[in-house]
């Protein structure tokens, strides 16, 4: 009986532990899915001849297993590409129809487990629909899997709908309750959180006085963080107290989250008072968090003393927090020293607590320059850290070595270095080099008993880092003498020469390497190419050819270097050659880093035609599998530049589907892509969604808001600009000069210049000085409202500011204001001032001057200025300058001279654009020359019959890549038909027919054909009517 009583007592005592274990396993499985612990309870059935057969309680027939496996394979294949819910339902019912309900449920559960994090809304919804169609009730496992899936994908409405169905059937499990609470917190629903808390609190109650498990500890942390954000922590404490779950672990999480959140000390005082009332002892991590979050060093000292008194002085968290507090000497050096001395005393008494690498390193850091125990590193090492392990903190180990070297303790240095393996020894040389004391690096190198090429290379790196090329050359020679110089040794020296601009020295070293029997490798060439991209672009392609001649092929690094060197001013041929190198790597496969580089290079160079070609490959079978938010950001930005809004959304939704959290850059790319393409409200909605989610709110910044501010400003919705501006202030966004420049630009565009002084005062209060863009934007606003005098006065103010000098943009802005109102004399004075200030004019300046001359009726002066300034400043006129010159002729009815300017542009190899032809077409219509209009249309589309004066030019030079816009074609055809003379209407119809027959014909209004045909019929039939 005594044995039975004892057994019952043991079982009774273990009941709480068993309950805790079962709940922890369940919570872990719910929170972490298929990566959780799997329990497989088995029962034994007697077999023949006394043998036994073990059968799983969830055993399935071979048919079920086969169907489950086939279903999983089939569905996973479907999920590899976009698939509808209906298609998934059909596939599920094909395999599940006819099976027992339990086996149907098991098959669906196994399916969701096999899919894991690749699940989708369509799959989860298909599971629900299939269950409903089959009339099958889900098991607890399947219910929890579906709830977890909806929650993971943030499908909150689907989660609520399914949860309501389960609760209506009273089938919600303990795991489901955990998920329901987690969902309420994630959705920011305070009322729902309070409603769900009691069910989970019952399970938490079993852990009173114990350490929380990882599963419900994480959920509890989220709950505390949520209530802090909602300023509802007192209410949470009341509910925890009422539920009887004020325990050491819960107090620990409460304190930690309060410190992380940076909440007011009043919250911590309330928590500590509650713990004291409930006689709950504070854990070491609790004291560690309190010390870390203490507002002053004095408070940290008192808390460390209290922790020591309560037996927590040797806790890892306490020691680390106290060590960090002792480094806050700017607050109170006396308190910092007292903490440091207490730590040293603790270390002497309990050396084993400081054998942990992180704790030992934290104590040794107190001997850094400016720290409380400055200069005592050797003393600390001797007294209590000789047996400590510093291997995980190379920086601290380096501090110890430099301190030992300074104390001339070479024997101890040799001991520390010898104890390290070879890789760590080379790491120590590099760490010691951080102090720029090359002699110490040499001492560590000499302490290494078995030197390898890696040791020599580390020391060579140190010499180069210390900018001692003479010593580097000596080390190189020593490595050669010891036969330890390898390709890395040479590459290190080559890189050093290149970094100092010594391309010739680097090339000589390459030849020397060959003479010594070593061939340059891809790294060698990549270093040479990288240096050439920066300083000698003309040498890049000969290096590529030399690389190939050596039997080496450009790798991904080579491609990245070439792409990095592409800019707005890169020659088109260089851009195409760089992409050709990338395309040659297609067999090896492009990774997402290279894809991102390709997209960014095409955007930077303005080669949207090449960008479009590259992105089209992403839609084919060789598409790169993207896993990073940065690459998605590049894709979104690229599609935004192309104006392909559907692909922008597809990329964004694909990222969300894969559960890849955006970065601030990715979010900024998305908002900018939408705002730049007219979907400003959609961009703003994305910002609002992120601001509403506490876990995503930190991604939003003032720069992202600027995209929608700019979008609303450009679309002249200025009321929305100021509404969002006030919202940004409410959120306490950190404004920058970019923010204020965007707002000032909105003032200029809306002619609301009275707001600008207020914004400038805000800038001054925030310590932000106006820059050139600020002044130029204000000047633009004054010019637009014909306040040139104010603009010129502001220009004078800029000149008085020593930090700012008016640049080309500033002068061009005022010149454009003069052109707007035909102020020729003022414009000429400003041009002379611009030149005398050392600001050279650009093509933009010339285009503005031509416009000024035209509106001032000084057309010939515009031509003279262009010729004179282009020669003086070596400016090659671009298409925009030529277009303004053509316009100045055709607008005055001089089509012949306008066409002469067009011919000059072509002879200078400047390709015309759509505006070039539009100006000529309008001039021809105004001059009643329908044949000329037809000739210009034929030239623009590359059709036979171009204008006679253009016949000497190559048709490819005349043809526009994308043809003419539909609006220009319509205006041209209607212009031909409106000309006086016979056959004009018929010519218009013939031209319309020819243009519509083109492969990439513009989309023209169907009513145009009817109108032109009717007009032609009326004109041709009118004479016959008269004859009758």
Q: Kindly report, residue by residue over 751-789, the tens digit of the pLDDT.
A: 899 999 999 999 999 999 998 899 889 998 988 888 888
Residues with Cβ < 8 Å from 650, sequence gap 6 or more?
none
Mean pLDDT estimate for the chain: 85
Closest C-alpha among 907, 941, 922 to residue 932: 922
Task: Report the predicted TM-score, pTM, of the whole model to 2 decimal places.
Answer: 0.62
pLDDT higher than threshold 60 for residue 55: no
Question: Are 85 and 118 contacting, i.e. CB atoms less than 8 angstroms apart?
Answer: no
Averaged pLDDT for residues 474-493: 92
Question: What is the C-alpha to C-alpha distance for residues 170 and 177, in angstroms, rounded to an integer?
Answer: 12
pLDDT higher than threshold 80 for residue 79: yes
Closest C-alpha among 242, 239, 236, 281 to residue 254: 236
**Top mean-pLDDT range of 196-200, 228-232, 897-901:** 897-901
pLDDT digits (tens, 9 = 90+) for 651-690: 999 998 888 899 999 999 999 999 999 999 999 999 999 9
Question: Are 540 and 533 contacting, i.e. CB atoms less than 8 angstroms apart?
Answer: yes
CA distances from 817 to 742, 788, 843, 948 (A): 20, 7, 17, 39
Q: 329-338, 629-638, 766-775, 880-889 — which is least confidently predicted?
A: 329-338
| Cβ burial, residue 259 (10 Å; 0-12/13-18/19+) | buried
Q: How many CB atoms lie within 10 A of CB 249?
A: 23
- Per cent of the chain over pLDDT 90 is 46
pLDDT digits (tens, 9 = 90+) for 821-844: 889 999 999 999 999 989 999 999
CA distances from 1026 to 278, 502, 746, 1020, 1023 (A): 113, 90, 62, 11, 5
pLDDT higher than threshold 60 for residue 2: no
Question: What is the C-alpha to C-alpha distance for residues 656 and 24, in angstroms, rounded to an integer?
Answer: 30
Residues with Cβ < 8 Å from 874, sequence gap 6 or more?
none
pLDDT digits (tens, 9 = 90+) for 117-143: 778 889 999 999 999 999 999 999 999
E strand or H helix at 724:
helix 718-730
E strand or H helix at 186:
helix 174-186
What the block records as the tokens of 875 is: 């400016």
606 DSSP β-pair partners:
none
- Would residue 630 be called left, alpha or beta, if left means φ above 0 and alpha means ψ between -120 and 50 degrees? alpha
Averaged pLDDT for residues 247-257: 89
């Amino acid at each position: 009986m005594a044995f039975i009583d004892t057994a019952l007592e043991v079982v009774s005592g273990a009941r709480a532990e068993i309950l805790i274990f079962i709940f922890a396993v369940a919570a872990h499985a719910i929170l972490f899915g298929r990566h959780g612990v799997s329990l497989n309870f088995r029962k034994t059935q007697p077999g023949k001849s006394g043998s036994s057969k073990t059968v799983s309680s969830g055993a399935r027939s071979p048919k079920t297993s086969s169907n489950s496996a086939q279903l999983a394979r089939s569905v996973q294949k479907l999920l590899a590409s976009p698939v509808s819910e209906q298609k998934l339902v059909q596939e599920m019912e094909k395999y599940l129809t006819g099976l027992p309900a339990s086996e149907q449920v098991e098959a669906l559960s196994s399916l969701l487990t096999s899919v894991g994090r690749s699940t989708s809304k369509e799959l989860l919804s298909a599971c629900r629909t299939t269950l409903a169609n089959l009339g099958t009730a889900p098991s607890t496992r399947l219910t929890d899997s579906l709830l977890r899936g909806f929650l993971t994908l943030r499908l909150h409405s689907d989660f609520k709908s399914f949860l309501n169905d389960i609760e209506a059937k009273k089938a919600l499990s303990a795991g489901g309750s955990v998920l329901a609470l987690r969902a309420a917190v994630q959705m920011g629903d305070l009322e729902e959180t309070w409603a769900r808390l009691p069910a989970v609190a019952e399970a938490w109650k079993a852990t009173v006085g114990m350490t929380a498990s990882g599963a419900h500890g994480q959920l509890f942390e989220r709950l505390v963080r949520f209530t802090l954000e909602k300023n509802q922590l007192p209410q949470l404490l009341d509910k925890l107290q009422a539920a009887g779950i004020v325990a050491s672990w819960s107090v620990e999480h409460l304190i930690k989250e309060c410190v992380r959140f940076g909440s007011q000390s009043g919250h911590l005082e309330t928590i500590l008072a509650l713990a004291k009332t409930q006689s709950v002892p504070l854990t070491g991590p609790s004291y560690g968090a309190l010390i870390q979050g203490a507002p002053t060093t004095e408070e940290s000292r008192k808390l460390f003393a209290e922790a020591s008194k309560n037996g927590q002085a040797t806790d890892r968290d306490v020691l680390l927090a106290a060590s960090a507090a002792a480094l806050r000497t700017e607050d109170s050096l006396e308190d910092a020293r007292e903490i440091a001395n207490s730590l040293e005393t603790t270390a002497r008494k309990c050396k084993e607590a400081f054998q942990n690498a992180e704790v030992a390193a934290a104590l040794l850091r107190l001997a850094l320059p400016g720290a409380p125990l400055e200069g005592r590193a050797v003393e600390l090492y001797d007294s209590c850290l000789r047996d400590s392990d510093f291997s995980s903190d190379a920086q601290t180990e380096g501090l110890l070595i430099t301190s030992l070297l300074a104390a001339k303790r070479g024997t101890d240095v040799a001991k520390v270095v010898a104890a390290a393996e070879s890789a760590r020894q080379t790491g120590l040389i590099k760490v010691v080099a951080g102090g720029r004391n090359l002699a110490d690096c040499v001492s560590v190198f000499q302490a290494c008993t078995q030197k390898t090429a890696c040791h020599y290379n580390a020391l060579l790196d140190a010499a180069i880092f210390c900018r001692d090329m003479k010593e580097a050359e000596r080390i190189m020679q020593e490595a050669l003498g010891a036969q330890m110089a390898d390709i890395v040794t040479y590459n290190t020296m080559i890189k050093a020469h290149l970094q100092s601009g010594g391309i010739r020295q680097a090339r000589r070293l390459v030849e020397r390497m060959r003479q010594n029997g070593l061939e340059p490798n891809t790294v060698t060439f990549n270093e040479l190419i990288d240096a050439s991209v920066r300083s000698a672009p003309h040498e890049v392609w000969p290096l590529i050819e030399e690389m190939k001649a050596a039997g080496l092929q450009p790798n991904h690094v080579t491609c990245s270097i070439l792409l990095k060197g592409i800019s707005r001013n890169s020659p088109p041929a260089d851009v195409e050659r760089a992409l050709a190198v990338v395309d040659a790597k297609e067999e090896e496969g492009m990774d997402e880093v290279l894809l991102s580089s390709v997209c960014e290079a095409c955007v930077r160079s303005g080669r949207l035609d090449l960008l479009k070609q590259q992105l089209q490959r992403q839609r084919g079978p060789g598409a790169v599998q993207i896993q990073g938010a940065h690459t998605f950001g590049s894709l979104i930005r690229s599609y935004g530049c192309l104006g392909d809004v559907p692909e922008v959304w597809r990329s964004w939704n694909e990222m969300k589907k894969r559960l890849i959290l955006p970065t601030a850059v990715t979010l900024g790319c998305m908002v900018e892509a939408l705002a730049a393409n007219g979907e400003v409200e959609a961009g703003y909605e994305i910002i609002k969604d992120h601001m509403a989610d506490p876990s995503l709110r930190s991604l939003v910044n003032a720069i992202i808001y600027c995209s929608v501010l700019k979008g609303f400003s450009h679309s002249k919705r200025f009321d929305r600009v100021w509404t969002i501006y006030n919202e940004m202030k409410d959120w306490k966004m950190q404004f920058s000069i970019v923010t204020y420049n965007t707002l000032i630009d909105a003032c200029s565009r809306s002619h609301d210049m009275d707001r600008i002084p207020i914004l400038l005062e805000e800038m001054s209060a925030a310590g932000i000085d106006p820059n050139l863009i600020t002044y130029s934007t204000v000047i633009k606003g004054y010019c637009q409202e014909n306040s040139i005098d104010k603009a010129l006065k502001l220009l004078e103010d800029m000149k008085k500011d020593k930090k700012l000098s008016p640049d080309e943009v500033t002068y061009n802005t005022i010149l454009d204001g003069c052109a707007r109102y035909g102020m020729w004399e003022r414009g000429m004075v400003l041009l002379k001032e611009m030149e005398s200030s050392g600001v050279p004019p650009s093509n933009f300046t010339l285009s503005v001057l031509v416009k000024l001359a035209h509106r001032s009726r000084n057309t010939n002066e515009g031509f003279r200025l262009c010729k004179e300034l282009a020669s003086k400043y070596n400016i090659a006129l671009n298409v925009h300058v030529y277009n303004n010159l053509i316009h100045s002729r055709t607008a005055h009815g001089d089509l012949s001279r306008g066409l002469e300017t067009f011919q000059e542009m072509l002879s200078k190899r400047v390709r015309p654009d759509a505006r070039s032809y539009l100006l000529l077409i309008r001039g021809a219509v105004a001059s009643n020359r329908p044949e000329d209009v037809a000739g210009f249309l034929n030239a623009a589309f590359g059709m036979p019959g171009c204008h006679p004066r253009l016949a000497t030019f190559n048709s490819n030079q005349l043809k526009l890549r994308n043809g003419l816009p539909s609006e220009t074609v319509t205006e041209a055809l209607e212009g031909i038909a409106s000309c006086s003379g016979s056959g004009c209407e018929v010519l218009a119809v013939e031209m319309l027919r020819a243009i519509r027959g083109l492969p990439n014909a513009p989309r023209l209004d169907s009513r145009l054909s009817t109108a032109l045909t009717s007009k032609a019929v009326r004109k041709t039939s009118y004479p016959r009517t008269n004859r009758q």
